[in-house]
Structure 1
Amino acid sequence: MTHYDKSWWIFALLSAFFAALTAIFAKVGVENVNSNLATAIRTVVILIIAWGIVGVGGQWRGLFTISEKNMLFLVLSGIATGLSWLCYFKALQMAPASWVAPVDKLGLALVLILSFLFLGEAMTLKTILGAGLIISGALVLIYPEGGFASATAPTNVPSVDVELIEPVEVNSVTAPTNLPVVDAVIDPEKETL
């Protein structure tokens, strides 16, 4: 079994905290700004911070020892990150941050699934339940209040005054209680229509 540093969760919580700040700051920052330009500005800031940390820490020397495989997957990761950010900023222009950020976190459930499929990581009841809750939460946020039909309805339709019809009282129907109970077993091979 692989042993991990026990303080990993501190950085995971900090990541979640900074991701939350990112959503709030980005929502305000992307207002009246092209989402691609906003992503480019954000990327330059990240580039300066990341290379500043690498430079001060002397970790830049490791650049020359990275394998081709590692470099390929880091580049692919960078491409995926860039595409994710472009889509994220566009979504922030189109909807409230309180909707976009949680739906964006569907990536967490996808990571659980993809890490099982491609990395061979364990899929336990706990991870399945967690992924299911994340997906359920995102679906609750995606589902519009009036249903999907109301979300796609045109907004420029003139309003019409409608009078409600007086409600009709309906008596409840009671099933007969004197019917015989029949037990039946259906054999699909003998069943005919």
Structure 2
Amino acid sequence: MASIDDRGRGHGTTGQKAVFLDRDGVINEVLTKRVKFVNHPEDLFLLRGVPEAVRQFNEAGWKVFIVTNQGGVGLGFMSEMDLETIHEALLGKLEKYGAHVDDIAYCSHRPDAGCRCRKPEAGMIIDLARRHDISLQDSYMVGDRVPDILAGQKAGTHTVFISSSENKTLDADYRFDSLLAFSSWLTERNCQQ
């Protein structure tokens, strides 16, 4: 597992609140007519409303992290340097809208590697929480696939399933049609508390 920000901090239950976001299918397009997989920066297309959603989280004081399985590195479809370039492009696109991500963690192992970081395991979430002093019980894991929800459950976060279809997933705590719908709900709820 690797991260673009390796500053160490302790983890505690009194830490900050965070939103952990899956990347492909939550932040950017994947398996669409325009792009199959994101193996190069030119394959990166943000989903509608994502910059606004991330900015809402930022303005409401939530830490924002991306936790993403990137088995394409382990399978040889791209290098770690390619992946870093893609993440730099992603951060640049968000910055144009006044939005920022606090850290990105990724698992570059092959899907069959059996590592502790690849979702549905919770290693990436737990490591980020320790480094950034995040209270997992007050945080959310947001994803569009079952492994994302399982990782959030194993880490002890609330879980949010993002899907515009009628398909249901495992017992996620919440379900929204888009990241923007979730960020609007969360920031409104946060203001009322």
Tell me which protein shows more strand as a share of its residues: 2
TM-score by length of 2: 0.24
Rg comparison, structure with higher value: 1
TM-score by length of 1: 0.24
Instruction: Tell me which of the two structures has the higher relative contact order, counting C-alpha pairs closer than 8 angstroms and 6 or more residues apart.
Output: 2
Tell me which protein shows more helix as a share of its residues: 1
